[in-house]
């Protein structure tokens, strides 16, 4: 049986059972038909007897038995009548035809005739016996004994048996085949449908709608996936380490190697022409670039950004693409070119004079101009078109970066409805009242809700965003699932704290020792060896709290005069947005304040504040971190701030103190820093003093804890969580779409 194919294993027993049933039914049928025939033959016999009564009575009256014999002889020529006899009134069978068995006398004939099945077996086969009185005018004149042929009944019975068995067998086979085909189709449908539901594969391909019985399973699965999703997000605290290979594996397994497209305003490498006309490559001072570049190296794919360098056009191919990082070609950059008017309106105007101060609430008034808004819309469309042009499939994973592209998600969604769009907002999101100042609040929100996932640094920013949506759009917010339903589409709103790539062992092995870094910095800036050094590394931006920080340094020197002549504060301020008046005024003010402090507290030709308002590459910044006794990050408001994480990562000697603003997103993760209110000058001055006097053991304890947090909460984890959520979201969407198609098909 094992060697039989599955279908036969089912078919053979079924046919056998049906054939046996047919075989058993035949005798019952035989008996029934025999009774019907017996009744018929009795009637027939009575008819024959009646019709012959007169002739028989006459022959008997004439005592002419010879005539009677001849009459009987003619009558039995009927093929069904085998023999005939006449029982005289004295009980003798006085006349009998040839085939009447000699042993059969009238007494025996009467006994057989009285049986329910009056049968006899004679030489020629089975016969039916019937006995009928002969009625003459003078009264009863003996009995006629008739033997009717029954062999035809046997023949018919055998024929019936054959046909019945054949019919039942045929029917059985037919039923079995129909059952098997239905079962096979149904089973395969179940298996295929359930697998597809579980894997989410093939669900978007045009397929026949699932059988109705799958619908409850699909609904259940969808709900279950959602619950799992929520559980997973809640349980992420204790997961294992993330690194580039794990992120790559995630892309391969959960997103099936789908292409990744990054969109940002700032490009990861800028080609500039220096004073001698040589092309130089520069890494921009940008938290966004610091975070996204390692992710892009892990994922490959395409990065679309504004080509803002003076030699950018000279270094791209004819499709405006360049392979990066220089010399390693791990991904490609597609540069887009903006006219000066576009750059002015979209970047300087709407993004940096409007949205930047709006979201940071750093007490700088946002400016909103209609012309900037028009430029912002046009540039968002330009970048959206580039995403569509660069996409090699209709469902790429698009990582949209930052406040420069609030409208782009919906624009891409219109052209690539199946794309998975993850938008990450690198700056804070203020409360609804503050954001509502923007005249185009609704349009911005609608654009952002084209995203599959809207990511922010902190749960607080997510909450503010959801409240802003609630106040401004007809959208349904599911707080339980942290999602927004708007115009039939859902967007997951989630916190993904951004971070840096933890330096590899090889990278750490190449670092100069902190003591060497300290000596080199001293030599470079003329800082005496006995000075304590604190550093600040920022873009030259009013949100970074540089002014308040300088005030705190000044207060430190006032309050703790022992630091005069023993302390230097080095502030790297990378030039940024210098075209804007607000920035120009701010930068001038910082220069003036630094100058004033230096005039007040310089000793022996050594100024306590060194303001380095130039671009510094990552290596230079890294040496600065290693040379410092303290790093001061006192942003007035910051989405996350990666400088503090870079400082921690650079201190493999577990020395150095971090002074950190409570208004930087990073403060949530880096509790072992000296957390301060950046507006409170006194508090920051005290924190500086504490940092400069902190025992080495306490520094080690704090730094070890900070390092373990940054190492674990690294940028691969940031990207990994977003992409994992995206993959699960994609799966759930497939199930929903399939159900929708199914309902549509049924409604039609
Ligand atoms: O913080 C927001 C942000 O876009 C960051 O992502 C980035 O570090 C910085 O601003 C860069 O600003 P810009 O590109 O205007 O120089």
Task: Average the pLDDT over 289-304 and give the result.
Answer: 92
Q: Which of 38-42, 268-272, 467-471, 722-726 has the lowest mean pLDDT?
A: 38-42
Pick the residue whose CA is nearest to atom 9 on ligand 1: 286
State if residue 427 touches ligand 1 by the CB under 6 angstroms criterion.
yes
Top pLDDT among 12 and 249 is at 249
Q: Are strands 532-539 and 567-574 parallel, antiparallel or unpaired?
A: parallel
Please state the rounded mean pLDDT for residues 220-225: 70
Give the strand pairing for 567-574 and 609-612.
Answer: parallel
- How many residues in total does the chain contain? 748
- Alpha-carbon span 702 to 672, nearest angstrom: 5
Other CB atoms within a 10 A radius of the CB of residue 736 amount to 15
Predicted confidence (pLDDT) at residue 231 exceeds the cutoff of 70: no
pLDDT value for 115: 87
Given a cut of 50, whether residue 219 has pLDDT beyond it is yes
Instruction: With a cut of 60, say whether residue 426 has pLDDT above it.
Output: yes
Average pLDDT, the chain: 89
Q: Please write down the HEC assignment for all residues of 146-177.
A: EEEECHHHHHHHHHHHHHHHHHHHHHHHHHHH
Ligand 1 near 53 CB (within 6 A): no
Q: What percent of the chain has pLDDT over 70?
A: 90
CA-nearest of 608, 600, 535, 630 to 573 is 535
**Reported pTM:** 0.71
Average pLDDT over residues 260-288: 95
Evaluate if residue 160 carries a pLDDT over 90. Answer: no
**What pLDDT, in 10s, does the model give residues 485-535?**
999 999 999 999 999 999 999 999 999 999 999 999 999 999 999 999 999
> What is the distance of C-alpha 724 from the center of its chain?
9
84-106 pLDDT, tens digit each:
999 988 889 999 998 899 889 99
Mean pLDDT within 213-239:
66
**pLDDT the model gives residue 47:** 86
Which residues make Cβ contacts (< 8 Å) with residue 521, sequence separation at least 6?
527, 533, 570, 623, 624, 627
Query: Do β-strands 532-539 and 630-633 pair in parallel, antiparallel, or remain unpaired?
Result: parallel
Residue 224's SS3 state is helix
Domain 505-713 matching CATH 3.40.50.2000: the answer reads: yes
Q: What pLDDT is stored for residue 213 in this prediction?
A: 63
The answer to whether the CB of 266 is under 6 A from ligand 1 is yes
> Which residues, other chains included, contact 370 with Cβ-Cβ below 8 Å and sequence gap of 6+?
none
Which of 286, 306, 308, 539 to mutate for ligand 1's pocket (most ligand atoms within 8 Å of CB)? 286
Which residues, including other chains, have CB under 8 Å from residue 740's CB and lie 6 or more apart? none
Q: Based on DSSP, count helices (H) and strands (E) in the chain, helices before strands.
A: 23, 23
CATH hierarchy code of domain 4-155: 3.30.450.20
Domain 257-495 in the same topology as domain 4-155: no
Q: Whose CA is nearest to atom 12 of ligand 1?
A: 286
Q: How far apart are CA 150 and CA 154, in angstroms?
A: 7
Find out if CATH 1.20.1260.10 is the number for domain 257-495: no
Q: Which pLDDT does position 204 carry in this prediction?
A: 33
- Distance (Å) from CA 288 to ligand 1 centroid: 6
| Dihedral (Cα; 95, 101, 105, 111), 10-degree rounding | -120
pLDDT of the residue at 187: 62
pLDDT per position as a tens digit, 187-209: 665 656 555 555 444 333 333 44
What's the average model confidence in pLDDT over 468-472?
A: 98
Residue 128 pLDDT exceeds 80: yes
567, containing H or E segment:
strand 567-574
One-character DSSP codes across 502-558: PPPHHHHHTPPPHHHHHHHHHHHHT--TT-EEEEEEEES-GGG-HHHHHHHHHHHHH
Q: Give the residue-averaged pLDDT of 436-448.
A: 98
Q: Residue range 231-254: average pLDDT? A: 77
What is residue 619's three-state secondary structure? helix
Instruction: Please list the residues that pair with 489 across neighbouring strands.
Output: 486
- The response to whether residue 548 sits with its C-beta less than 6 Å from ligand 1 reads no
| For the chain, domain boundaries | 4-155, 257-495, 505-713
In angstroms, rounded to a whole number, what is the distance separating the alpha carbons of residues 260 and 398?
A: 6
pLDDT on residue 3: 45
Residue 710 CA, ligand 1 centroid: distance in Å:
21
**For position 209, what pLDDT does the model report?**
47
Q: 31-84, pLDDT tens digit by residue?
A: 777 778 778 888 888 888 888 888 888 888 888 888 888 888 888 887 678 899
Q: What is the pLDDT of residues 715-728, one digit of tens each?
A: 999 999 999 999 88
The closest residue, in CA terms, to atom 16 on ligand 1 is 576
Three-state SS letters, 401-470: ECHHHCCHHHHHHHHCCCCEEEEECCCCCCCHHHHCCCCCHHHHHHHHCCCCEEEECCHHHHHHHHHHHH
- What pLDDT does residue 201 have? 42
């Amino acid at each position: 049986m094992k060697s039989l194919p599955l279908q036969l294993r089912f078919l053979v027993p079924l046919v056998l059972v049906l054939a046996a049933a047919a075989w058993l039914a035949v005798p019952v049928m035989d008996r029934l038909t025999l009774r019907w025939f017996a009744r018929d033959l009795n009637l027939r016999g009575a008819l024959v007897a009646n019709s012959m009564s007169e002739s028989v009575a006459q022959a008997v009256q004439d005592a002419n038995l010879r005539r009677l014999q001849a009459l009987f002889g003619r009558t039995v020529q009927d093929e069904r009548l085998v023999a005939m006899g006449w029982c005289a009134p004295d009980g003798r069978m006085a006349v009998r035809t040839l085939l009447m068995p000699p042993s059969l006398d009238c007494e025996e004939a009467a006994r057989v005739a009285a049986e329910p099945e009056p049968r006899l077996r004679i030489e020629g086969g089975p016969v039916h016996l019937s006995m009928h009185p002969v009625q003459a005018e003078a009264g009863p004149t003996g009995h006629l004994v008739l033997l009717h042929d029954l062999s035809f009944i046997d023949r018919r019975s055998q024929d019936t048996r054959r046909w019945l068995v054949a019919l039942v067998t045929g029917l059985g086979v037919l039923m079995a085949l129909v059952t098997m085909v239905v079962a096979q189709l149904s089973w395969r449908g179940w298996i295929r449908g359930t697998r597809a539901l579980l894997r989410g594969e093939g669900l978007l391909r045009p397929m026949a709608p699932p059988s109705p019985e799958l619908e409850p399973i699909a609904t259940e699965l969808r709900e279950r996936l959602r619950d799992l999703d929520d559980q997973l997000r809640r349980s992420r605290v204790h997961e294992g380490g993330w690194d580039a290979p794990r992120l790559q594996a995630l892309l391969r397994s959960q997103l099936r190697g789908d292409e990744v497209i990054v969109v940002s305003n700032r490009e990861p490498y800028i080609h500039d022409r220096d004073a001698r006309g040589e092309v130089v490559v520069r890494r921009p001072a940008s938290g966004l670039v610091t975070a996204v570049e390692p992710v892009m190296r892990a994922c490959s794919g395409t990065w679309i950004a504004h080509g803002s360098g003076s030699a950018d056009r000279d270094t791209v191919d004819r499709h405006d693409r360049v392979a990066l990082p220089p010399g390693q070609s791990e991904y490609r950059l597609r540069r887009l070119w903006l006219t000066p008017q576009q750059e002015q309106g979209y970047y300087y105007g709407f993004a940096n004079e409007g949205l930047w101060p709006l979201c940071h609430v750093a007490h700088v008034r946002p400016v909103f101009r209609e012309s900037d808004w028009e430029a912002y819309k046009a540039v968002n469309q330009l970048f959206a078109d580039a995403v569509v042009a660069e996409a090699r499939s209709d469902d790429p994973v698009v990582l949209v970066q930052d406040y420069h592209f609030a409208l782009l998600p919906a624009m891409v969604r219109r052209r690539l409805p199946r794309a998975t769009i993850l938008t990450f907002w690198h700056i804070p999101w203020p409360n609804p009242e503050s954001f509502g100042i923007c005249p185009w609040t609704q349009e911005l929100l609608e654009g952002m809700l084209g995203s599959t996932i809207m990511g922010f640094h902190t749960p607080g920013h997510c909450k503010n965003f959801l409240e802003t949506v609630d106040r401004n759009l007809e959208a349904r917010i599911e707080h339980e699932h942290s999602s927004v339903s708007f115009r039939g589409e859902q967007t997951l709103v989630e916190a993904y704290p951004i971070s840096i790539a933890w330096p590899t062992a090889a990278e750490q092995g190449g670092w100069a020792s902190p003591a060497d870094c300290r000596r080199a910095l001293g030599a470079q800036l003329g800082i005496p060896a006995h000075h304590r050094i604190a550093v600040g590394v920022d873009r030259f931006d009013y949100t970074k709290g540089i002014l308040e920080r300088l005030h705190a340094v000044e207060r430190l020197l006032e309050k703790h005069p022992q630091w005069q002549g023993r302390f230097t504060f080095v502030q790297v301020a990378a030039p940024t947005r210098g075209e804007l008046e607000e920035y120009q005024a701010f930068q001038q003010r910082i220069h003036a304040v630094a100058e004033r402090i230096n005039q007040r507290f310089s000793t022996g030709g050594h100024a306590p504040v060194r303001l380095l308002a130039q671009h510094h590459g990552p290596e230079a910044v890294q040496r600065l971190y290693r040379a410092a006794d303290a790093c001061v990050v006192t942003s007035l408001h910051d989405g996350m701030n990666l400088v503090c994480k870079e400082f921690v990562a650079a201190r493999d000697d577990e020395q150095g103190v971090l002074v950190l603003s409570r208004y930087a997103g990073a403060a949530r993760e880096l509790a072992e820093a000296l957390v301060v209110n950046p507006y409170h000058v006194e508090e920051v001055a005290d924190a500086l003093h504490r940092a400069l006097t902190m025992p080495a053991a306490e520094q080690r304890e704090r730094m070890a804890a900070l390092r373990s947090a940054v190492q674990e909460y690294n940028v691969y984890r940031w990207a990994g969580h977003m992409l994992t959520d995206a993959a699960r979201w994609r799966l759930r969407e497939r199930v929903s779409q399939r159900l929708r198609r199914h309902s549509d098909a049924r409604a039609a």
